[in-house]
Amino acid sequence: MDWTELNALGPRFTEHLVKHYKEPRIFFHAFENEEDAYSLVREVFGSEGGADLAAEGVRRLMSWRDSMQSHSKREQTRRCNLSFEFIRHPGEQFGRSLQEEFEDIVRENPAYILDIAKRRWKRKRETSGTQRADVEREQRNVYALQLAEILKEACLPIVFQVEMLQDPGKAWIRIFGSRRSKTLWNRLRSWNKFRDWLLALSGTVWPKTLTPLIAYVEEKIQDGCSFSCVSEFHASFTILEQLGKVPEDKRLSNDPVWLGHVASWKLELELESRPPRSAKPYATAMLLSLEIFVLDLEQELYFRFIAWVAVFVRRDVTLSGYDWLGTGLELTSHESFQYKRDYLVPAPNAAFDGFVPKIVEPPSLSNSIRIVLGRLGTPRFQDGHWRANMSMLLAPGDVLLFWTGHSPRHFLNQAALALNISKERRDFLGRWSIGKSGSNAYIHTARQVVEEVQHQVASSLVNGTACIDESELLDELSKFSDEHNTVGHRIRRRHAQQLHRDLQQGPFDEGESGAEEPDVDLPVASEDHFQALQPQGSQAKYFVTVSRRTGVRRLHAYFKCPVRTQRCLETYDVERVDEETFDAMCAICKRRLKVDQGGADSDSSSTSGDSSSTEVGEEADNAND
């Protein structure tokens, strides 16, 4: 069947038939008598040509229909015979099963594939030993198919091209290129908020003009939105139009009016929003306490492992002198830690004494590190070793909020800068560009430079060859603590540790011990009075008190000091005194010993003794702390 015999009516008539009826067999059933034919002619030509043209058109249409009568019957018979091929006759083999036909139909629908992907992802998460790459691939497929649903319901040009492919389901995933699952999720989340808003407003799912786009963002800003809200929405709209193959001259995301609004919104939000807060680095005392935490057998195994991960550095780097890196590595020999995966930190079990084969996302890892920071005691140097005073936490209560998940990576950079290490070498401390340059030579060079910088910083801290000034950081910490219902100067004092293990006074100088040497003579009490203060059965001449707040070990002399051991939180007798025994000496005892040895200054007795009782009371309070 063709239009050949109707060409005599002119190209105008033929073009009308092709446009509205597509095929001759469809036009054949459009009229049955001369009245229907006359209506078709008038539909095309109207009143032009008069009655002669109308009569000629009716005659030719009826002649064409009569000539196509036999052809139409053959076509109907053929279609009727073909219809029986889809029915299974007894003894006949069916070419394609019903299941195969159904799969061909549903394979073109992304919603079906999306449901399968969700079920697979759920099963994958419930199984043990999940790989990070597998999780990323499953999530990416789910989010890609959800974005494909948005493109389909908007009937963008890409839909017709993808449906013509052999495997549309796989094609919908491929069109999103190498974008990560997190990126696709952000685009999907941002657009779904606008889609729901537009659906409630106009009942549509895709904007035809800039009006709803601008109104939506203006409403979000009035209600109060984040600084990144506009950027995320603009990025989502741009990607959907690009992947949807919307012609460039019709893309609203490229419209100068829209781009101008986006720039203006960003500036407005930037001026009204708070300035971005950079992560604060750890204080040196926190790194030292983390090393001690790794060795603390009273802590749960999982949190000891987290403390080891947070400060993992070169093999021989240590501030405490302990082999904390070796101890942390031994934690990885736990049976539950030994399973094949492509990530380092697994999730903890319910008791935190082992691991489960499940990946820990960065937010969860940051929370685990924060738990560890909340358990760090103030480090103190005692009997030649570093210990942690668990009664004085470095970050109690809300002070933990001072640091974020990015804080561990900032200490080495700021310490290297304080030691005047060149920027060229400090740049290696950042993210290694393995995906860009990726050569083994670069990786080996970066490892050597990073380890050298780590060793240089650690040596400077331990040996005192250079000074790293943390006063500004500690001032900010003190102010933050005061604002969060904590005594700021106490928190600052806990972090102000000196790490020089070869100092005469230990980690504290005598001038910082909390008791100044008095400039006056103190009233001399009888020796019997001080002897009564000595515990029964003790033959030692000296004893040491440990400060509850600072951990300072202060040396006192029996028969010379009014401080009572019964009133102190922690004391012990000393039979033999050396430089490792104490951190500072009681100023009162020191003064009295000098007087006994005749080493007091000649003018010390010329000053008034009005403050003697005050000095004694302050020294006793410091010892009792």
| Poorest-pLDDT segment among 95-99, 163-167, 220-224 | 95-99
In a domain, 388, yes or no: yes
pLDDT at 512: 37
Based on the domain organization, do 75 and 121 belong to the same domain?
A: no
16-20, 92-96, 97-101, 402-406 — most confident range: 402-406
Tell me: the pLDDT tens digits for 516-548? 333 333 344 444 444 444 555 556 788 888 876
In a domain, 495, yes or no: no
Domain final residue, candidates 434, 457, 477: 477
pLDDT category at 498 given cuts 50, 70, 90 is: low
As a whole-number percent, the residues of the chain with pLDDT over 70 amount to 75
pLDDT category at 84 given cuts 50, 70, 90 is: low
Based on the domain organization, do 323 and 444 belong to the same domain?
A: yes
In a domain, 490, yes or no: no
In a domain, 306, yes or no: yes
CB half-sphere exposure, 458, CA atoms < 13 A:
20
pLDDT category at 206 given cuts 50, 70, 90 is: very high
pLDDT category at 126 given cuts 50, 70, 90 is: low
Based on the domain organization, do 210 and 293 belong to the same domain?
A: no
Single-letter residue type at 505: Q
Based on the domain organization, do 268 and 318 belong to the same domain?
A: no
Based on the domain organization, do 257 and 405 belong to the same domain?
A: no
Q: What is the mean pLDDT of residues 610-617?
A: 40
The closest of 362, 438, 449 to 412, measured between CA atoms, is: 449
In a domain, 318, yes or no: yes
In a domain, 377, yes or no: yes
In a domain, 13, yes or no: yes
CA distances from 555 to 55, 547, 549, 593, 623 (A): 128, 11, 17, 12, 10
More confident residue, 382 or 125: 382
pLDDT at 184: 93
Based on the domain organization, do 252 and 315 belong to the same domain?
A: no
Tell me: the pLDDT tens digits for 226-246? 888 899 999 999 999 999 999
Q: What is the mean pLDDT of residues 235-262?
A: 92
Based on the domain organization, do 330 and 413 belong to the same domain?
A: yes
pLDDT at 8: 67
**Residue 250 belongs to what domain range?**
110-272
Based on the domain organization, do 346 and 468 belong to the same domain?
A: yes
More confident residue, 359 or 512: 359
Indicate the number of domains in the chain: 4
pLDDT category at 460 given cuts 50, 70, 90 is: confident
Q: What is the mean pLDDT of residues 19-31?
A: 76
pLDDT at 258: 93
pLDDT at 30: 77
Is pLDDT at 260 greater than 90 in this prediction?
A: yes
As a whole-number percent, the residues of the chain with pLDDT over 90 amount to 9
pLDDT at 504: 34
pLDDT at 42: 77
Domain final residue, candidates 245, 272, 299: 272
Is pLDDT at 616 greater than 70 in this prediction?
A: no
- 583 and 476 Cβ atoms separated by less than 8 Å: no
pLDDT category at 256 given cuts 50, 70, 90 is: very high
DSSP 100-152: HHHHHHHTT-HHHHHHHHHHHHHHHHHSSS--HHHHHHHHHHHHHHHHHHHHH
What is the b/e burial string over 236-257, where b = at least 16 CB atoms within 10 angstroms of the residue's CB? bbbbbbebbbbeeeeebbeeee
Based on the domain organization, do 292 and 259 belong to the same domain?
A: no
pLDDT at 50: 67
Burial of 340 (0-12, 13-18, 19+ CB in 10 A): exposed
More confident residue, 609 or 364: 364
Based on the domain organization, do 264 and 333 belong to the same domain?
A: no
Q: In sequence order, what are the beta bridge partners of 355? A: 348
pLDDT at 235: 93
